Amino acid sequence: MSESNTSSRNSGPPLKVEAESPNTELERSLGFVEAMAIGTGTMVGAGIFVFPGLAAGQAGPAAMLSFAIGAVIAMLVALPTAELATAMPESGGGYYFISRGLGAFLGSLVGIGQWLGLIFASAFYLMGFAYYLSDVLSVLGMTASLPVQAVAFMTVVVLTGVSITGTKNTGDLQSAIVGLLLVILAGFLGHGLLDALGFFGRETVPESYFPYGIMPVFTTAALVFTSYLGFAQIATVAGEIKDPARNLPRAMIGSVLLVGVLYVLTIFLSTSIVGSEALSGLGETAIVEVARAIFGTVGAAAILTGGLLATLSSANASILSSSRSLFALSRDSLVPDKMREINRKFRTPHIALLLTGVPIAGLILFGQVEVLAEVASLLHLVMYGLMCITLLVMRARQPASYDPDFRCPGSPVLPALGALASFGLIAFMQPLSIGLGFGVLIAAALWHVFYARDVDIVYE
């Protein structure tokens, strides 16, 4: 870490950033596969298991175009993020970049917002995991009622415990979950696409490609963009990724491309097999009924298992990423120093992990997690927009320490479009979610004013 990259309180001597302290150094134990699994596993969830019916009801078969537009917008943000991550490969992701480019105040808003947003999202994922498990058991003929809150609670305890015992353990678990998930999706899409193309004698449902016109394609793109919110989690654990100059951009760009292709093929398959109108009527379980139409009960059980794995992988990656945001805030003295403490045996930030796992458990027992999940999306969009602006500021300032191994093409147009798209999508969210999201940001601002207003972060 360069001496020019420091945080300090105005009234005291400069504090070196944590990387120079052996008690706050994280181990680089994650390779390309684990990084790719974190990004892919966080994104493959809502896009495939929740949105097909909703998107087809708004845009018809052209919903696949909506998912493609969502992927393009995600790439507008992923490319600037990849440049920032290779220039500053430290834990904290969006918080770290924005605090160095735009200052400690906006850094506090994003860092605290990212920590809380991922806590909200994790609680939502874990409740979804418990419901998927209940549905899998029901399809298999096990009629006993499953205590979903208790299952979600125990799962967060296990995932937090795994994360505390080693980042590599979390990475290995993530790779295994995502690998099995991709096998299920490959079987579903491979056989299903051949069926939809008529190789097994099936006739597809005839319908217009744009039954509701062109405009619903774009409004649906705003709806489904939340499916692509996970790629930035890779940057959050950048301080633990081996060979970051090579692995960070490949994992970020590769995960967006892979997930985008999976989404588009899923919509094509689903609308071809059952038609967009029928798909819309099936709601949030549409993809399960598509699998049932192709493979029978076995297919329904398999795709439910896929949903089970998707929600588990999303929660696992989000717990890891959320704790690193808190850890990074603490290194810069924006939250109490205790939160950056590293476990001497496992080399993990156990205090930050506990301060992530415990609130998730509380939300599972007492919270309204569905509303909070959309709040998490809003906080991500704010961070994405500010990361794109940070890239523009870094290119203009050209600090000596800024020497990225990957450079975003098309600057300044591409990051400017990424910022506009990220902020613009907030307007399409529910008013309650917008109100709660900005409430979180105001609370973060008040924290900064009362606790950390004298902190300067210098990046030269």
CATH for 313: 1.20.1740.10
Establish if 42 belongs to a structural domain.
yes
Establish if 75 belongs to a structural domain.
yes
Annotate 69-118 with DSSP letters as a single string.
Answer: HHHHHHHHHHHHHHHHHHHS--TTTHHHHHHHHH-HHHHHHHHHHHHHHH
- Among 46-60, 109-123, 163-177, 392-406, the range scoring the smallest mean pLDDT is 46-60
Q: Specify the pLDDT at position 339.
A: 93
N-terminal to C-terminal alpha carbon distance within the chain? 12
Q: Looking up tokens 């798909």, which residue turns up?
A: 279
Establish if 322 belongs to a structural domain.
yes
Establish if 17 belongs to a structural domain.
no
Q: Specify the pLDDT at position 45.
A: 66
Q: Positive or negative CA dihedral for 182, 224, 302, 317?
A: positive
DSSP 3-state helix, strand, coil percentages of the chain (rounded to 5)? Answer: 75, 5, 20
- The tens digit of pLDDT for each residue in 429-453 reads 778 888 999 999 999 999 999 999 8
User: Per-residue b/e over 280-296, b at no fewer than 16 CB within 10 Å?
Assistant: bebeebbbbbbbbbbbe
> H/E element holding 9?
strand 5-9
- The tens digit of pLDDT for each residue in 279-314 reads 888 766 788 888 988 888 888 889 888 888 888 888
Inter-residue contact 341 to 351 (CB < 8 Å): yes
Establish if 14 belongs to a structural domain.
no
Structure tokens, 244: 């970051």
User: Per-residue b/e over 71-101, b at no fewer than 16 CB within 10 Å?
Assistant: bebbbbbbbbbbbbbbbbbbbbbbbbbbbbb
Q: Specify the pLDDT at position 30.
A: 85
Contacts of 269-273 with CB under 8 Å at 24 or more apart are 269/189, 269/192, 269/193, 269/196, 270/52, 270/56, 271/56, 271/60, 271/61, 271/63, 271/64, 271/205, 271/207, 272/61, 272/196, 272/204, 272/205, 273/192, 273/195, 273/196, 273/202, 273/204, 273/205
pTM of the model: 0.86
In the predicted structure, residue 13 carries a pLDDT above the cut 50: no
CA distance 4 to 1: 8
Nearest to 42 by CA among 121, 116, 134, 97: 121
Establish if 8 belongs to a structural domain.
no
- Position 77 confidence tier, pLDDT thresholds 50, 70, 90: very high
Establish if 6 belongs to a structural domain.
no
- Among 34-38, 224-228, 431-435, the range scoring the smallest mean pLDDT is 224-228
Give the amino acid at 204: T
Structure tokens, 47: 């896009």
- The tens digit of pLDDT for each residue in 104-149 reads 999 999 999 999 988 988 888 888 888 888 888 888 777 667 788 8
Q: Count up the domains in the chain and report the number.
A: 1
Q: Which of residues 375 and 161 earns the better pLDDT score? A: 161
Sheet holding 5-9, edge to edge: 14-16, 5-9, 455-459
Range of the domain at 266: 32-452
Angle at 45 between CA 389 and CA 118, to 5 degrees: 50
Annotate 348-365 with DSSP letters as a single string.
Answer: S-HHHHHHHHHHHHHHHH
Establish if 284 belongs to a structural domain.
yes
